[in-house]
Amino acid sequence: MKNVLIIGCGLIGSSILRSITDKKIAKKIFVYEKSKSNILKIKKLKLPCEITSDFKKIIPDLDLIIFCTPLGEYEKIILKINKYLLPKTIITDVGSSKEKSIKLIKKRLNKKISWTSSHPIAGSEVSGPEHGAKDLFLNKWCVLIKEKNTNKKHLEVLRKFWKKIGSRVVIMDSKKHDTIFSMTSHLPHLIAYNLVKTATDFEKKQRYELIKFSAGGLRDFSRIAASNEIMWRDIFFNNQINISKAIDLFIKNLRSFKKDIQSKNNKSIIKKLVNTKKVRKKIIKLKQDIDKPDFGRG
Amino acid sequence: MKNVLIIGCGLIGSSILRSITDKKIAKKIFVYEKSKSNILKIKKLKLPCEITSDFKKIIPDLDLIIFCTPLGEYEKIILKINKYLLPKTIITDVGSSKEKSIKLIKKRLNKKISWTSSHPIAGSEVSGPEHGAKDLFLNKWCVLIKEKNTNKKHLEVLRKFWKKIGSRVVIMDSKKHDTIFSMTSHLPHLIAYNLVKTATDFEKKQRYELIKFSAGGLRDFSRIAASNEIMWRDIFFNNQINISKAIDLFIKNLRSFKKDIQSKNNKSIIKKLVNTKKVRKKIIKLKQDIDKPDFGRG
């Protein structure tokens, strides 16, 4: 590739930038970034890119555009770049929710242009270009979305792109994507946020400090619940139907747990607690985590 | 101290053993352990102790007995040792739930004997003496329980004991203890178990694999949900009333979250997501976690 444009250069965008540079995937990287604070950081970090908003000038010569902003920003930016886009330009995004954003893209994007959606399963509770890393995607899954009208040529170019960056690529449709990630990512984040909120409400009610004793479990959730609020609001709003179903199933199971505890149902509760251990083993076997015990960090 | 008896030598018991040895707190450590597999491990690890069940012989010369078994084991063992206990013997335990176990202890323990309860806030998802460490309690909280009938002399000895081991000691009554830890430890564990169960149920229903995409959040919960099932069943059963209330508050908040998502209530959801970030900062300030981002382990 010759020229790549990264739109939104936070944690993910700047990691892609570093990775492209490291693997020599493109000759030149342009960055469009609306946050002044991020622009200052990018300059201070001397990330090898040209920061620009001159879409008219750069778009005709681009091979690849990657949207790395929160989902809620897509529409505005599409309307800005639409008239300069060419059918040959490959466009992708790294958003965590797909069905709704693909519908919006279809509605707003110039009809002759293809958009091929990606979702690299990588990230952290921190945001901003200072936290990016060239190896962020190494051995991580990257989901590529394939629908009826997907441009096969673009899909293949993106498959190779993510592989070069170090990802393991898997292809599925947007419906399956949103169902899976409502359960493996969106619900866990929502639950973490909700647990920290519940503890805060409880602390106020009880009028004595409890956060200082959070090492017994709450601490680990609070890390996840410190993730970027704009990004997560957009994910929750976009994947609302699947997440609502996941919440309902979660509450149903929680009620059953409560019943087991209140009735001291030994058999039922041990079954629950043992089965989750099996899932843990599966997760380690599938290399989604390591088998090293955690006694608290630092 | 001259002689200490550790009853139950798993993760916590063996960590206390190692710590007592390291700090030269006692001359001799006896261990009572019912699990044959743990006994083999203790011997293989050459932990400096004498494994025994001859209570009649050793108890008269003991300065300190520490119960490190799951809560459900206390009663049986108290009935075994009751007749050999002397008023001078200091007895404590490290259980994670207090009100109910203290009631049971009062009922079963020989009337002339004092029991002073401890709860070191340390542990991991792994069990067994092979995972113990001498520094497990270093800079961690240890709660000592003080009630009307608490033996002040024993409480003072235990305060010094935990301080020597490296803990920061805090004293409170059992009611306050159980309320705090229902929220900071028991509910988070229950929620983690419940989330993994919900994901498993969902995977079965959908008939496609989703555990392999667990790096997006579920992974972190699965680690907590791999904790010892006997220990956690006993905690859930013992602190049932507080945990049930915590579950109710959690469900109430989760419903409100769902409502915000369904109605796209931007103001309300951003408030929730931003406030939890503040709690995270407090947790780091209180040194309950470190300020290092987590990108997944290994």
Note the pLDDT tens digit of each residue in B1-59.
Answer: 999 999 999 999 999 999 999 999 999 999 999 999 999 999 999 999 999 999 999 99
User: What is the value of ipTM here, to two decimals?
Assistant: 0.91
pLDDT in tens, B154-165: 999 999 999 999
pLDDT in tens, A27-84: 999 999 999 999 999 999 999 999 999 999 999 999 999 999 999 999 999 999 999 9
Quick: pLDDT tens for A114-135.
Answer: 999 999 998 888 889 999 999 9
Contacts of B217 in chain A (CB under 8 A): 184-189, 192, 224
- B122 vs A214: CB contact, 8 Å cut-off? no
Residues 17-36 of B with CB under 8 A from A: none
Tokens 């743990």 label which residue? B38
Q: Stretch B170-188: mean pLDDT, rounded? A: 96
Domain covering A3-172, topology: Rossmann fold (3.40.50)
Taking only the tens place, the pLDDT of each residue in B230-284 is 999 999 999 999 999 999 999 999 999 999 999 999 999 999 999 988 888 888 8
Four-CA torsion B260, B264, B266, B267, nearest 10 degrees: -50
Residue with tokens 């960090």: A297
Cβ(A185)–Cβ(A232) below 8 Å: no
Q: Residue A164 in 3-state DSSP?
A: helix
Name the pTM for this structure. 0.92
- Name the DSSP class of B170: E
| Tens-digit pLDDT profile for residues B77-110 | 999 999 999 999 999 999 999 999 999 999 999 9
Q: Which of B171, B137, B107, B160 is nearest to B22 (CA)?
A: B137
Q: State the DSSP H helix or E strand holding residue A254, giving kind and residue range, or none if neither.
A: helix A240-262
Instruction: Assess B268–A contact: CB distance below 8 Å, yes or no.
Output: no
Beta-strand pair B90-93/B141-145: unpaired
Find residues 228-267 of chain A whose CB sits inside 8 Å of chain B. 229, 232-233, 236-237, 240, 243-244, 246-247, 249-251, 253-255, 257-258, 261-262, 264, 266
A138–chain B Cβ distance below 8 A for any pair: no
Residues whose CB falls within 8 Å of the CB of residue A205, separated by 6 or more in sequence, listed in order:
none
Residue given tokens 């639409």 in the structure block: A82
Does the structural domain A177-285 have CATH classification 3.30.420.40?
Answer: no
Q: Which of B218, B258, B290 sits opposite A188 (nearest CB)?
A: B218
Domain ranges of chain A: 3-172, 177-285
Q: Find the range with the poorest average confidence among A18-32, A217-231, B60-74, B128-142.
A: A217-231
Strand partners, A69: none
Interface of B with A in 187-206 (CB under 8 A): 187-203, 206
**For the residues of A74-129, what is the DSSP string, one character each?**
HHHHHHHHGGG--TT-EEEE--S--HHHHHHHHHHS-TT--B--EEE----S--SG
Residue A108: both structure tokens together:
């707003």
